Structure 1
Amino acid sequence: MFLNRIIYGIEFFVRLVVEIIKAVIDTAMCCLKGEVDPVVVEIMPDLKRPVSLAILSNTITLTPGTITVNMDQEKGILTVSALTPRSREDIIPLESTIKKMLE
C-alpha cells in the first residue's frame, strides 16, 4: 500500500510538470492570438479528503491560465477562474492521480 502511494506520487509529480508545460504553451498562444475570454466555473471533484481537495486546488493554481478562487470543503466544490472556457477534464486532469495517491 505504501509503495503504491510512492509510485502514484512520482506519477503525480511527472504529470504535474507535463501539465504545467502544456498550460504555459496554451496560455501563451491564447494571449498572443488575443483569444482571452475569462470564465469562472464551479467544479465538484470526486475527492473525499480535505487534503486531496487542497492538493488539487494547488495544482490548479500552479498551472498557468487557471486559479482556484474558492474551496468549499464541506460541499467539495472548487471555484476556478480560467483564461478561456475549458472542459472539466482540462481544468483538473490530475484528479484521478490524486485520488489513487491519497484516497
Structure 2
Amino acid sequence: MKLLSIFEYIVVMIKAIAEAWVDVFRRCTNNQINPEIMDINTEINSLYGQVLLACSITITPGTLTIDLDHDSKTLKVASISPRKRDEIIPFEKYIKNIFD
C-alpha cells in the first residue's frame, strides 16, 4: 500500500510542478502577481510527513513554506497569488498514506 502511495505522490507532484510552472509563467508575463501569506492546517500527524509536505510546497513554483508548527499541524505558506488550500497541497493525502 505504501509503495502505491509513493508512486501516486510522485505522479501528482510532477503534475503539480508542471501546472505551477505554466501558472507562474502566465502570471509573470501578464503582471498578475498578488502575493499572499496564509495558514494551512494539515491532517498529517507524522513530523516526517509534515516536513515532506512543506518541502513539496516549496519546490512547487509560486509557493514557499515559511514556517511549520508540528504541534498545531499548521504550515505558513506564501503564494504569488491567492489560492485555495487544495490547489496548494493536492498531494497531502498521498503523503498522509505514506507516513500515517
Determine if the TM-score, normalized by the shorter chain, exceeds 0.5.
yes
SS of residue paired to 2:61: coil
The 4+ residue runs of structure 1 with deviation greater than 4 A are none
> Does residue 21 of structure 2 align to residue 24 of structure 1?
yes
Q: TM-score, normalised by structure 1?
A: 0.94
Quote the Cα distance in structure 1 between the aligned partners of 2:88 and 2:11: 17
> Does residue 58 of structure 2 align to residue 61 of structure 1?
yes
Quote the Cα distance in structure 2 between the aligned partners of 1:48 and 1:102: 8
1:3-14 aligned within 5 A = 4-14=1-11
Q: TM-score, normalised by structure 2?
A: 0.97
Aligned length: 100
The share of aligned pairs that are identical, in percent, is: 28
> 1:39 maps to what in 2?
36
Structure 2: which 5+ runs fail to align? none
Structure 1: which 5+ runs fail to align? none
Amino acid at match of 2:99: L
RMSD: 0.7
